[in-house]
Every structure is written in structure tokens, then in C-alpha cells.
Amino acid sequence: MFKKILIANRGEIACRVIKTARKMGVKTVAVYSDADKDAHHVELADEAVHIGPAPSRDSYLQADKIIAACKQTGAQAVHPGYGFLSENEAFAKRVEEEGIVFIGPRHYSIAAMGDKIASKKLANEAKVNTIPGWNDAIESAERAVEIAKDIGYPVMIKASAGGGGKGLRVAFNDKEAFEGFTSCRNEARNSFGDDRVFIEKFVEEPRHIEIQVLGDSHGNVIYLNERECSIQRRHQKVIEEAPSPFISEATRRAMGEQAVALAKAVKYQSAGTVEFVVGKDQSFYFLEMNTRLQVEHPVTECITGLDLVELMIRVAAGEKLPLTQKDVQRNGWAIECRINAEDPFRSFLPSTGRLVRFQPPKETMFASDTANLLGVRVDTGVEDGGEIPMFYDSMIAKLIVHGKDRKEAIAKMREALNAFVIRGISSNIPFQAALLAHPKFVAGDFNTGFIAENYAKGFHAEDVPHDDPDFLVALAAYVNRRMLGRAAGISGQLPGHGVTVGEEFVVVGMGAAGQNTPHPVLVRDYQAQSGSSAVEMGDRRYEICSNWHLGGARIRGTVNGQPFAAQVERGVGRNPLAIRIAHNGTRLDALVLSPRAAELHALMPYKAPPDMSRYVLSPMPGLLVEVAVQPGQKVQAGERVAVIEAMKMENVLFATADGVVGKVLAAKGESLIVDQPIVEFA
């Protein structure tokens, strides 16, 4: 076994590998960029080496610097995590040549599976189901149309070197095939420097289901069941689960056996994933092989009771797999939600900055510990007060739950999301809560088009229906009563003028003008010691009991005897008296007033926000990489004005109306905050 390994990655996956290495008694070396000098993975590792400036191309993608760090620290092996250099054949080969062990497959296996055209031919030879199509590079748009006709519409036009949704088009007729081929080839040339394009049959109502495989250097390969990854937004996975609620036992076995056959064909040693597209009739076809550990590996760890990172390290050290196919278990149901730093209510734009509060739900399962299952696990690389930099991807944590069955797993995940406190940046937690509550998701009736079909116009607050909206009102009244109780108990109050608290209140929702809905409530039976009250709204009564302390962002307790977890925030919407309650993805901003104060509040004039239509505002925090206009320039609607870069994503800002540029208010290279003006029109 190795004495010391280096993790050529950052964030959540670096922390994950360090935890398993520590369990195995293996020392760890972290690498870090300028942006990550105070990052959690640096703190966790035994040693850390600085490898360059913040942009990944100057640090985490620099193979020379990583190999130098290995030699400097005496690390005998490198774990690449996922992303960055994890599937880079040249890096794996260099590492091997330097006498360092690559904790992953051999370079020739990465090469064989890295090219989509070559991997499809290999899959055919290994008798793995492949989608009907033309697997050689196509020379012209006219030839693409002929091939598409032969295969039969709809077809998918794909770049051989593509990935992440780039170089991908679906065509339903000759015109779309002609145009799709041309734009696909251009996009592939610009993005990957490789303009080879191929065509295959488009599977309707497709599911994305993948098989986890594991091989050793002694020729043994097994499959560890499947993961359902069909809940995707723009080809990026959002929720993953294991097992799949869709496939039969026979399909599972057939997919698993084909995945093993493919892995054996490329002499695969390590953890890897064979991805399939599965039709509504359970027909399945090979998509690609990921020659690395997957982001969603924890759901497989939950249902099998295996530590995949440990097995990767042991296999890399030359050990045999400790189990055979018949030993592989499938217990319970696991779900993973990717918690991303993005604002779902603003078209999922990246959200960077300081984590003012980061309080995950209570963990009862832990990375690298397979003894404690059927609980909640949080894999993350950040901590309270940490920074979410603009240079890397948006995932800040993975929330994983394991239940006896799918229904229990969904209930656990909803409860865990309610208790996940993130302040200072926006997160996609409300969107995850909405997906988990969607009747079709609950029924297991979905495919890869689920998000595009159900949230075609984006995601809005009203897309999160609450099963009991009155509970949010009652909780706001309860929280307010607790705060008034403290105010009434403060010593030294002027005799005859102390704070007295009645039972009648009005909860006023803080919507736009005309939406300030008043809800009369009675708060009775207040008990300061036990923290209990009864909130009455008409004929409804909510008996709430909690040991919540004032100022706490998370409130846990019981309502009518049933446990709940929710979140509380004071002073929102520029109003220091406002209370925000968040539960099951739904948010209520409200004022809790006395009946007389509510009467007076109703008479207050509505103050409209300032008119910002003359400005181009930054929709997200990021780096201003281009300003395409100058003062005095005439601009037409739809014309490019500026480009902002954040989290590996470029966002182009366009003029919404014709006008003349008055002032340019921000300079190229400047770091912007949300809603910062960039250009003012005269």
C-alpha cells in the first residue's frame, strides 16, 4: 500500500479522497491555486503545495506542476478526482512514465474510451448494444442528410470530441439535419479543435442510466448495479438515484454484463462508468464510458456498502478485487442532490461570494464510512465563512440520503433540504425541493426531458406548491411571538411602560403592490420554558413546539405532534422587521403586526423601485471580460454590449432596446457584483 498520495483536484472531491486515505493510514498531499489557499481541502490534507494562479488552466490543468509536486513531497501515487486532468490520456501516461502510480485506469483505456467514434466501434466489437447510426466522420452537410434519411428521423448529430452539451443537435427533418450538421461542426472546431461529426438515431423519451464498473490488474471486472441520472438541466445532472425506478431485473443484468464486457475489452483497471440511453421499451444503447470516479458515486456506495475510493486505491496498488459479482449487494434506495451556487429564480445564473452561513443538515452517514447507512450524508469542500470563487464549477456540496425504499428516501431528502442553511450566496435548494415534490418524479415517471418540459419558461416561486401554505403563516406568527416574549422579559423596563404582548396578530405577506395579503391569527398558550404556542387561523390550529434560539437560521420542532425543519431569517427585503420562512422549497416574506398596525400598514403608499431600464446591469457576480460599446455609440436592440465570465461560463449581455451609449461605468477586468451597472444609455 502507498504511504503517501497526491490529490490532483480541489473542493468536494479532494476532501472525499482525503477522508478515505486517512482511514487507510495513507498520508495525503493537496494542491491549490491562489484562489484556494484557504480552502477546506488544503486544511484537511497532511501537506499542501501551491501550483499557480486562480484560473484552472494555470494551476489544476498544469500537468508539469502536479508531477513536480509529487516529486517534491515524495507522493507515490496521484488521485485525479473528476474533471480537470482525470480523463486526460497524456497526463495519465506522463504520470506512469515518471514512476508515479495513476489512481485510475491505464492511459490506453482512457484513450480507447475518450473518442466517441472509436469507443462506439470498440463497443460494437465487444457485442455491446449501440445506437443505429453512422460511426465514421461525415464529410459534408449533403452527405449528413442522406445518412439521416437512411437511419430514419429523428436523429442526433454529435461532435466526436464533444461533451457538456456542446456539439450536439437533434434533427427531425432534412432542413434541420443540414443546418444542424453545419453548426455542430463549427461549434466542435471552435470548442475542441476537432470538427469530426457523426450521426445516430435519437431515442425518444430517453432515460440516462449508467452502470458502475470496477476492475483490477488481475483481469477481474464486476458491475455495482446502476444509477438513474435522467433528471438533467442542459445536459448537466441535477438529481441521481440508485437503483433506477424504471428498469427490470433482466434489463439491469443485461446492461451490467455488457458494461463488464466493454471494460474487459479495454483492459480496464479502476472504477469507471458505462453510460447508456434507455428507451421507453427498455431497449438500451451504449453512450460513452467515463474513465474516472463519477460525481454521483455516493449513491452506489449507499446501496452496496462499498467505499469506491478505497477500492480505487487498493486496485491501483496492485491488490485484487475483494469481492466477486455474486457478492455485490443492493440494499435500500439512495438519492443525491447536487447543491449548486446558482440562483434558480434568475435563470440559474452563477452566484459567487462569501458563505455567510453554511450549516448542512445533521449527518448520520459519512464519506469513507460504510458502516453507518440509512441516513443523511453531505460531501462538500467548503465551510462556514468560506469563499465560492468565480473560477471553478458551481457545485458546493452533494446531499445524499439512503432509505429503506424510494418513498422513504424522497421524504428524507425533503427534510434534509429544509435543514440545509446557505446564506450569502444563492443556491438551487428551492429548485431541488420542487423537483422532489413533483408528482411525476414521485411516481418515477420521467426521462431526460423532464426539466425542459416542466420548467420550459424557467423556474419561479409559484412553481413550488406547498402542501400546507397556512403552516408558513402560522410559523411566522410563532417566531414573532417568541421574539416578543424575549422583549417582554428584558429587565429594567420603565414601570407601566413595559412590553406587553397580546394574542391577536395579522401576518401580512410582502409581495408586490396589491399582493400584501393579510392573515388574521391568534397566538395562544405561549410557554416560554417549553417554547410552545398554539396558532389559530380561522378553524385551523397549529400547535408548535421548538427549542429554537433567537437568531438561529434553522428551526426544528413539532407541529401538531409531527416533526418539521424550516429556516428563519429576519430583516429581509430591506425591511428590518420582516420575517422570512422557508420550508419545502417555498418561501414566505411577511410582517407580523398588531391588528391596529396592520390597519395603518394597509394605508401606506407603495414605493416603487427605481427605474433601471436605462442601464445594462450585471445579472451575476463575475469577471467583466469584454465591453463591446463606447460612449456616444448607437446601439440596436439585440446588439452585444458586454461579456461576463463566472464558473466556467460566459454570459453575453445584449441591449434590450435601441439607444445611444451615455457612459461606460465598469472596465474590462473588473470583478462585478449582482445588479452592478455596466453601461448607462443617454
State the catalytic residues: 288
What whole-number distance in Å separates Cα of residue 533 and Cα of residue 200? 63
Contacts of 612 (CB under 8 A, 6+ apart): 675, 677
What whole-number distance in Å separates Cα of residue 618 and Cα of residue 672? 7
Contact (CB, 8 A) for 86 and 270: no
DSSP letter for each residue of 246-287:
S--HHHHHHHHHHHHHHHHHTT--EEEEEEEEE-TTS-EEEE
DSSP 166: E
- Can you say how many angstroms the Cα of residue 471 is from the centroid of all Cα atoms in its chain? 29
- Can you say how many angstroms the Cα of residue 82 is from the centroid of all Cα atoms in its chain? 14
Report the amino acid identity of residue 434.
A
Contacts of 130 (CB under 8 A, 6+ apart): 120, 123, 124, 285, 286
Query: Residue 27: what are its φ and ψ, rounded to 5°?
Result: -70, 150
Q: What are the grid coordinates assigned to 467, written together?
A: 402542501
- Can you say how many angstroms the Cα of residue 119 is from the centroid of all Cα atoms in its chain? 28
Would you call 17 exposed, middle or buried from its count of C-beta atoms within 10 A (0-12, 13-18, 19+)? buried
Contacts of 540 (CB under 8 A, 6+ apart): 470, 474
CA-to-CA separations, 78 to 63, 311, 668, in angstroms, rounded: 11, 15, 38
Helix, strand, coil percent values for the chain (each to nearest 5): 30, 30, 40
Would you call 667 exposed, middle or buried from its count of C-beta atoms within 10 A (0-12, 13-18, 19+)? exposed
Residues in the chain: 682
Q: What are the grid coordinates assigned to 591, written together?
A: 410582517
Closest alpha carbon to 56 in 65, 48, 67, 43: 65
